[in-house]
Copies of this chain bind each other. A is one copy, B any other.
Amino acid sequence: MSNDWQQGIEQLLSQSRVSFLATMGKHGPETSMAPFAIHNGNILLHLSKLAKHAANIENNPNIGLMICTPEAQASSPLALPRLSVQGEARLVPDERLASARAVYLKNIPDAEQLFSFGDFRLFQLAPAQIHWVGGFGKARKISLDQWLAI
């Protein structure tokens, strides 16, 4: 049995460090960019209170998130392997903050200084729905068990 999708997701997560968020703004959905890391199956985001997406998440924690193969690494812009996630984003609870911070900084070392700024906080997106697009016309749903196994 082919596990192409599993290898594809592993490769994507190893080569991409940024995600694109869809949050609900006052006048409709808004897209923004945020570096990410993965911690116990949740997707960590380190967001400033001053940024619109953080205010949007506080108003409505249901968000969409995409991790996409960087354009330069694919032959066609139509076929970029990508992962699309939906779920609720919440502040990382205090008891997990130290381990989440360590995992996040391992993936995004440049963010170290931001942890000394009072306006940045760590959020975790718990995936409720996950879709994988491996290329043009190659889409499949990923179950939570499959996600956690990766």
Contacts and interface: CB of A to CB of B under 8 A. Distances in A.
Interface of A: 16-18, 20-25, 27-33, 35, 60, 62-66, 68, 70-73, 76-78, 80, 82, 84, 86, 108, 110-111, 114
A35 B74 CA distance: 13
Number of identical monomers bound together in the oligomeric complex: 2
A86 B16 contact: no
A15 to B, nearest CB: 8
B76 A20 contact: no
Contact of A31 (B17, B25, B28, B64): B64
10 contacts: A16-B71, A22-B31, A24-B29, A25-B86, A29-B29, A29-B30, A29-B62, A29-B63, A29-B64, A32-B84
A73 to B, nearest CB: 6
Contacts of A111: 78
A108 B72 contact: no
